[in-house]
Amino acid sequence: MPEQTPAWPVAVFAHNEARNIVACLDSLQAAAAVPPNCYVLANACSDATESLVRSYALDHPNVHLVAIELGDKANAWNVFMHQLAWPGASTVFFMDGDVRATPGALDIMARVLAGQPAANGVSALPGSGRGVAAFRRDMLANHGIAGNLYGLRAAFVERIRARGIHMPVGTIGEDALIGAMLKWDLSGETRWDNSRIVVAQAAGFEFDSVSPWLPREWRKYFRRRVRYSVRGYQNRMLGRAIQPAGFEALPARIESLYLRYPEVLRPGWRGADTLFDCLAVRQMRAACKRDENTQEKSA
């Protein structure tokens, strides 16, 4: 008899996702032959996200609500990685609460990862969004990881746990840090190895794009562009912190790197993006001052 597909564990990150969470969970029911164990990491939700998940779980016992007070995706990732357990799983999945997995995506990703013994993780491809064709080409060419939907080999997860590696709270765009963990194989002194990530071309995810042309979306689009700039500066600092000290050297909070590498916070000319870079730098420098004041009070 063929081996039965297990119930994959899935971390679903949700911060005020009342508009999308049911569609996300519906898509996961069809993303595997056996409905996966979905852990909805509802972090600091002030809308109906938690109540919707509770209601959904009444008819879907494979869905579990994990309420977290702090509104931070990196912290939610740490909670899932270090405080929850999924015995017997060979692959562990991570998904944003505002995306939808394509049918069979999890089974496809697990199968592709199992067929590549050298790989630590597997990524799905986007099926929507602005510039989706270029996004897909880049992921395939560079073995990229998309934070929207990816999977880690369970043995790799156990190595992260055993070494006590945590993601700094406040990290934006954690997919770059995850990609570094995978391609550096949790070492800060090895070469970048693309074979550590495999892209499952037949597995995908979809989401509703934020349009800069709709007035009701302008505020959300503006905030997102500033966050993209913050992410760029954070990634440069994270790279410096990891090499050669390793991932264990990452601080508990990302603001500690702002104080460690203040020279990075110098925006250059990047056309229209310069405005968002300047706003990002101002935001990060304000965080530095808050962190310095906190340290002075605790001294």
Same domain, 33 and 167: yes
State whether 22 and 41 are in the same domain: yes
- pLDDT (tens digit per residue) in 60-111: 999 999 999 999 999 999 999 999 988 889 999 999 999 999 999 999 999 9
Kindly report, residue by residue over 3-46, the tens digit of the pLDDT. 557 899 999 999 999 999 999 999 999 999 999 999 999 999 99
Does 112 reside within a domain? yes
Flag whether 122 is in a domain: yes
- Residues 233, 113, single domain; the answer is no
Indicate whether 16 and 55 sit together in one domain. yes
Q: Is residue 272 part of a domain?
A: yes
Q: Please tell me the predicted confidence (pLDDT) of residue 1.
A: 33
> Are residues 258 and 292 in contact, defined by beta-carbon separation less than 8 angstroms?
no
pLDDT at 298: 57
Of 207, 224, 253, which residue is a domain's last?
207
Instruction: Strands of 154-279 (E only): list them.
Output: 197-207
Q: Can you read off the two tokens belonging to residue 279?
A: 């706003």
Structural domain contains residue 2: no
- Whether residues 103 and 241 share a domain: the answer is no
Nearest Cα to 105, choosing from 182, 3, 36?
Answer: 36
Q: Residue 15 carries which DSSP code?
A: S
Residues 105 and 221 in one domain: no
Within a domain: 36: yes
Strands (E), the chain: 9-14, 37-43, 63-68, 91-96, 99-101, 121-126, 149-153, 197-207
Residue 191 falls inside a structural domain: yes
Answer whether residue 1 is part of any domain.
no
Structure confidence at residue 190 (pLDDT):
78
- Are residues 264 and 126 located together in one domain of the fold? no
Q: Summarize the confidence of residues 101-128 as an average pLDDT.
A: 96
**Total count of domains within the chain:** 2
Distances (CA, A) of 172 to 103, 127, 181, 255: 28, 22, 15, 12
Query: Do the domain assignments include residue 239?
Result: yes
The C-alpha atoms of residue 124 and residue 43 are separated, in whole angstroms, by 24
Residues 191 and 236 in one domain: no
Contacts of 8 (CB under 8 A, 6+ apart): 32, 34, 36, 37, 89, 91, 92, 93, 106, 110, 151
Residue whose token pair is 């069979």: 104
Domain boundary residue among 175, 207, 239? 207
Say what the pTM is.
Answer: 0.92
Residue after which a domain boundary falls, among 207, 227, 258: 207
Same structural domain, 203 and 223? no
Identity at 19, one-letter amino acid code: R
Name the β-bridge partners of 43: 68
Calculate what percentage of the chain has a pLDDT beyond 70.
92
Which pLDDT tens digit goes with each residue over 198-232? 999 999 999 887 666 666 667 888 888 999 999 99
159 and 275: one domain?
A: no
CA distance 180 to 241: 12
- Tens digit of pLDDT for each residue in 265-286? 999 999 989 999 999 999 999 9
Do 28 and 118 fall into the same domain? yes
Same domain, 64 and 200: yes
9-14: strand order across its sheet = 63-68, 37-43, 9-14, 91-96, 149-153, 121-126, 197-207, 99-101
Record the tokens describing residue 170, joined without a space. Answer: 């406040």
pLDDT, averaged across the chain = 92
Nearest alpha carbon to residue 71 among 28, 19, 17:
17
Sign, CA torsion 154/160/164/169: negative
| pLDDT beyond 60 at 297 | no
244 preceded by cis ω (within 30°)?
A: yes
Look at residue 216 in the predicted model and tell me its pLDDT: 66
Query: Residue 174 belongs to a domain with what CATH number?
Result: 3.90.550.10
- Going by pLDDT thresholds of 50, 70 and 90, the confidence category of residue 2 is very low
**Token pair listed for 173:** 């765009």
Domain encompassing residue 135: 9-207
Q: Burial, 42: exposed, middle or buried (Cβ in 10 Å; 0-12, 13-18, 19+)?
A: buried
